[in-house]
Structure 1
Amino acid sequence: MINKISYALAFMLFICAGFIACTDDDKVKITEFTLTFTAPENLNVSGISDLQVSFKNINTGKLTTNKMSGTEGKITLNEGLYNISVEGKINYTVDERTIEGQVKGYKESVNIIGTTSTDNIKLFLFNSKADFVIEEIYFAGSTTPEGKQYLGDQYIKIYNNSDSVLYADGLVILESAFKTSQHFEFTPDVMSQAMVVQCVYAIPGNGKDYPVQPGESILICDKANDHREANSNSFDLRNANFEWYDETKNNMDTDNPEVTNLDKIYCYSNTIWVLNNQGLCAYAIARLKVDRNTFLTDYTYNATYISATGSSMNKSGYQVPNEWIIDAVNISNKAQYAWNVVDASLDMGYTYCGEVQLDKNRYNKSVRRKVLTTTIDGRKILQDTNNSTEDFEAQATPSLKQ
């Protein structure tokens, strides 16, 4: 009798389980997604083709790719939150000549939901002309043999990725005013036109004072000292090409008179500037197309936004037009990453040293641009696709450690 009852109960549980597993709520919901493309502005476009579109599901990590052409494409996807990237070809006319170029596009956190859904991505013309690129950023600093944090040895390396001599005179180093870990809706939103910055430091010179040969780097550091004297785990920066030095009333900064100082155009800090040692900013190199006084007068940025607590807040800084910017790199840590703080035409990805907030493993590491290839004469060509996720080695061994 007990066996019959047990069998009956087991059968009923099996039936219930089957019924529950087959409810509509548990079925994967599908969306027919229509993606439209907006051609780059100010171009006489005759055709867009060979678009390779990648959809990355943020929650699952699944990557789906699809080929599209023209200004619209359709795809069937599981409902979810996606990052979408696009690469393809474009034909446009200049002075009655047809030119074939490359276009790219990127959009974060696209919520694809419902039976049908639509969205639009603005395409931009990708210029692969070799120039200066950011080769490496060492922002997290090092640790002493006792395990204590040491920050004085931060540096940035800039590389001549072309096959001709370039001049570093007038290059500016920029730090974003927005954090990659905090996504707010800023009004006005100028990201498609400019990078909002909180630090601007320039390499001095009259135009041809600082030549950089093809395949060579310039090293820019915080303090051009032999840091091994204070921290045996660090390195000697006395041979740096430039250092950033901040004059303060209390002489908080140190200056190596043998190393040329950057010209300080603007910095939000009233004391000394250090790179964000968690890596929660974007960094860029650019050339200002106006003089210092005009920049400080005409390129201010003042915005409002709503904070996480619902309060109305103000944000100020300076805006550097995107067309002035040569290269940009978004940096975050993996757990805190919220958004890219420069336009997709400058950088479609991000790189990192830390996995989580205050990650102690980020110390003694840098982000370094990957080598794409090496020429016959031994010159390295670094990868530059305007996507820091692809172009950079995260959590890398600093080059000065090798």
Structure 2
Amino acid sequence: MKRNQLFRLAALGLLVSTMAVTSCQKDVISLEAVDQTEALAKANLKTYNLNFSLSPKLAGKELLGARAIFKNTATGETFTVNAQSTTSLTTELPEGSYEAEISGYIKQNVKGKEKNTRVSAIQKVGPSFRSAANSAALLTLSANPFADLKIEEIYFPGSGTSIRDQFFKITNTAAVNVDPSGLVIMEGSFLNTTQRVYTPSIIDTAFAINAIWQIGDNADPIPRNNGYISLVNQAQDHSGGLDLSGADFEWYSPGAGNDLDNPQVANLEIIFSYTPAIWVLHNRGFRSYAIGYLGTTKADFLQNYKYGPTYPRPGDTAGTNPMVVVNTYAFPNSWIADGVNLSPTGNWEWNTLYNTIDAGYTGINADNGRFGKSVKRKKVGNILQDTNNSTNDFTYGGSTAVAP
């Protein structure tokens, strides 16, 4: 499986020591992961302490890769801080009130396979919350097992000579390897460039999607600290475009006569697609995309999560003959791990992901200059920036895409 080759975690009081992860088909890369609080201004900093432990049901397990993400409830700023031990964390932050998500991993046997399973807890942290005597937050099994996976890059325009060399790069920000088995990738049904009044409106509880694909069981773990996987349209060497023949996964449509299958690359499973032809990302970037987990069975999802809203038909002032949306499902927001709204600035009208998932948008101008470019997430040091606002987290305009 294609991977970044060497991931090295610097000391700086982090929970784990320097470690190398190697694999094939890539040059060796050295990444130094540093605590984001290092970059904070020294003025007006206050000390915050967090104490935590595994819940009684998880007694006897070892907590791995503990950290906390502090989100300032007034400004929305986030700070990722690695724990100094398996029970406590101390850091200096600009004075304010925070919501801190404490998380880590334990090893569990799942379907006969040992894997790292995410645990987490939420703790409100105010300016007076500085005493180590505060009661410990109890970490329980996380509802979203893929919360530490981020969409780092989306190559939606294609090379121009081929539309089939599109890809997603999904990156693991955790301090442990994460098994992506069961991860889903999905596309929004509604255009971010055309705002309509959909009835009923579900945006605050669910994401309206028209395509959803899933990674199967027994996938190789994604290496810790910026290891990644690539999900591609066609895992081929595209003439005049990118060589994606070494991708990790491809979305292959067996019912489409002109799709090509690379037998050396694992296929994503189709949960649902609005088209029997090849699923192609909107090549001007008018839609939103998200990753997450399917919180029910495929059969139950297809049966019980259908979404068929209506919207006013142009010219129908009486509203007696509305348009009906088809081939759409409601994917609960609570199942989403990460999402990105896409739109060219000149065409944007609204965001179709709820603002707690993505409060902004990113994109590339919808002219021929977009071909060969992708949108990429920014980094703070070597930590992917994630403020749940793509306007801040991605560089608008894109940059040259390189095969992952």
| Alpha-carbon offset, residue 98 of structure 1 | 7.2
State the Cα distance separating 1:182 from its structure 2 match.
0.7
From 115, 122, 135, the counterpart of 2:152: 135
Q: CA deviation at 1:201?
A: 0.2
> 1:362 Cα shift?
1.2
Q: Distance in 1 between matches of 2:276 and 2:215?
A: 21
Q: How does 1:75-86 map to 2 (within 5 A)?
A: none
Taking only the aligned residue pairs, the percentage that are identical comes to 37
**Is contact 1:184-1:307 (8 Å) kept?**
no
Structure 2: which amino acid aligns with 1:331? L
Q: Separation in 2 of the partners of 1:384 and 1:160?
A: 13
Structure 1 unaligned spans of 5+: 1-48, 54-87, 103-126, 145-149, 374-379
Please name the residue that 1:56 is paired with: none
Instruction: Give matches, 1:2-401, under 5 Å.
Output: 51-52=74-75, 89=97, 99-100=124-125, 131-144=148-161, 150-206=162-218, 209-214=219-224, 215-227=226-238, 230-231=239-240, 234-248=241-255, 251-310=257-316, 312-316=322-326, 317-354=328-365, 356=366, 359-373=367-381, 380-400=382-402
Q: Which letter maps to 2:74?
A: L
CA distance in 2, matches of 1:101, 1:278: 44
Which secondary structure does the structure 1 equivalent of 2:342 belong to? strand
Q: Is the 8 A contact 1:226 1:235 kept in 2?
A: yes
Deviation of 1:99 after TM superposition, in Å, equals 2.6
Q: CA deviation at 1:318?
A: 0.5
Letter in 2 for 1:258: Q
Q: Secondary structure at the match of 1:335?
A: helix
- Residues of 2 paired with 1:98 and 1:322: CA distance? 21
TM-score (structure 1 length as normaliser): 0.63
Against the structure 1 CA distance between its residues 193 and 163, is the aligned structure 2 distance closer, same or farther, given a 3 Å change threshold? Answer: same
**What 5-or-longer segments of structure 2 have no aligned partner?**
1-71, 77-95, 101-121, 128-143
Asked if structure 2 preserves the Cα contact closer than 8 Å seen for 1:130 and 1:161, the reply is no
Q: Normalized per residue, which structure has more strand?
A: 1
Following superposition, the deviation at residue 188 of structure 1 comes to 0.6
For residues 398 and 217 of structure 1, the distance between their equivalents in structure 2, rounded to whole angstroms, comes to 19
Give the structure 1 partner of residue 56 of structure 2.
none
CA RMSD of aligned residues (A): 2.7
- Range with bigger deviation, 129-138 or 269-278: 129-138
SS in structure 1 of the partner of residue 334 of structure 2:
helix
Change (3 A) 1:336 1:261: same
Aligned amino acid, residue 166 of structure 1: V
Distance 1:385 1:392 in 2: 10
The amino acid across from 2:124 in the alignment is I
Amino acid aligned to 1:213 = P
Partners of 1:309 and 1:318 in 2: CA distance: 27
Per the TM alignment, residue 300 of structure 1 is displaced from its structure 2 partner at its CA by 0.7
Q: How much has 1:50 moved relative to structure 2?
A: 6.9
Question: Contact between 1:226 and 1:237, CA under 8 Å: does it hold in 2?
Answer: yes
Change (3 A) 1:100 1:139: same
Structure 1 residues 98 and 341 mapped into 2: Cα distance closer, same or farther (>3 Å)?
Answer: closer
Asked whether the 8 Å contact 1:366–1:394 carries over to 2, the reply is no
Q: What is the Cα deviation at residue 287 of structure 1?
A: 0.2
Q: TM-score, normalised by structure 2?
A: 0.63
1:235-288 C-alpha deviation (Å, 9 max, x unpaired)? 21111000000112x612110111000000100012111000011100000101
Name the aligned partner's letter for residue 291 of structure 1. Answer: T
The superposition leaves residues 40-63 of structure 1 with CA deviations (integer Å, 9 ceiling, x where unpaired) of xxxxxxxxx97349xxxxxxxxxx
8 Å Cα contact 2:363/2:398 also seen in 1: no
Q: Distance in 1 between matches of 2:190 and 2:126?
A: 32
Deviations 1:169-219 (A, max 9, x none): 00000100111011011111111000010000001115xx32011111101
Q: Is the 8 A contact 2:155 2:374 kept in 1?
A: yes
